[in-house]
Amino acid sequence: MLDTAQYLLGAGSGLLVGFVLALVGGGGSILAVPLMVYLVGVPNPHVAIGTSALAVAVNAATGLASHIRHGNVKWQCAFVFAAAGMVGALAGSTAGKAFDGEKLLFLFALVMLLVGAMMVRGRHRAGDPLVVLGRHNAAKLAGFGAGTGLFSGFFGIGGGFLIVPGLIAATGMPMINAVASSLVAVAAFGLTTSLNYAASGLVDGWLALTFIGGGVVGGLFGAQAARRLSASRGRLSLAFAGLIFVVAIYMLWRSYSAW
């Protein structure tokens, strides 16, 4: 059981993640697990992963609302991708629960390095805005969905940094549609993972609520900052990638020392 100070730190962590997500976009939720473990002080890495998965799912659903209003979601493609991914997320989260916590954090840090590298690289592609679900892309969507769901479930992360390029590779849709549609999958994967962890008593509901509450507030501030700093988004993403590298190296050191 956590104390009041830890729940307050959880709210502050959620505020930071929400702010970063709104400011620089995909990859921000990768900080949720290390913040819960090293700042909030959640003693069990599995609880940190299960709880962050729930928070990420809710944050994704919140972000999805604005994209729905603007008609950016390719629903049929998103549903096929998410349905296949939920099967993968169930298998991945089951494997993650059985994996040693400290070794899981070590692997998680390696994933953070991958996220940072992908943020530095960036993506620029026009795409086809008239993409629809059909025989030519259904199998690709299911395959990419199952793979990213497995990955997302194992590490308890949203996986948007893999889902977005997966949707683009499978369908050729524009980036804005891929980002919007990815939130359907992120919410589905996070919910599947968190429910699987909750079934084993590995989700702290109160911590998730404080984290989500902080994330909503942080998202509002982040959205305002993003509008003011729109011309500097590339540099902001690069700076955030640098932060991810630093945190990942720290996690590698801490988790390796604990072996």
Q: Give the closest residue to 221 by CA, choosing from 14, 15, 10, 58.
A: 15
pLDDT (mean) for 230-254? 77
| Contact call for residues 240 and 27 (beta carbons, < 8 A) | yes
CA–CA separation, 45 and 37 (whole Å) = 7
The pLDDT, as a whole number, for residue 215 is 87
Would you say residue 253 has pLDDT above 60?
yes
| Contact call for residues 93 and 196 (beta carbons, < 8 A) | yes
pLDDT 10s digits, 142-201? 999 999 999 889 988 877 777 888 888 889 888 778 888 988 998 899 999 999 999 999
The pLDDT, as a whole number, for residue 122 is 56
DSSP class of residue 201? T
Structural domain range at position 44 = 4-257
Cβ burial, residue 124 (10 Å; 0-12/13-18/19+) = exposed
pLDDT 10s digits, 110-149? 888 887 787 676 555 556 677 878 888 899 999 999 999 9
| Contact call for residues 247 and 36 (beta carbons, < 8 A) | no
- Extract the tokens encoding 103: 């070794």
**Mean pLDDT, the chain, whole residue set:** 85
Number of domains, the chain: 1
Band of residue 39 on the pLDDT scale cut at 50, 70, 90: very high
The pLDDT, as a whole number, for residue 134 is 81
CA–CA separation, 133 and 73 (whole Å) = 13
pLDDT top residue among 238 and 86: 86
Q: How far apart are the two ends of the chain, measured CA to CA in Å?
A: 25
Would you say residue 252 has pLDDT above 70?
yes
pLDDT top residue among 2 and 203: 203
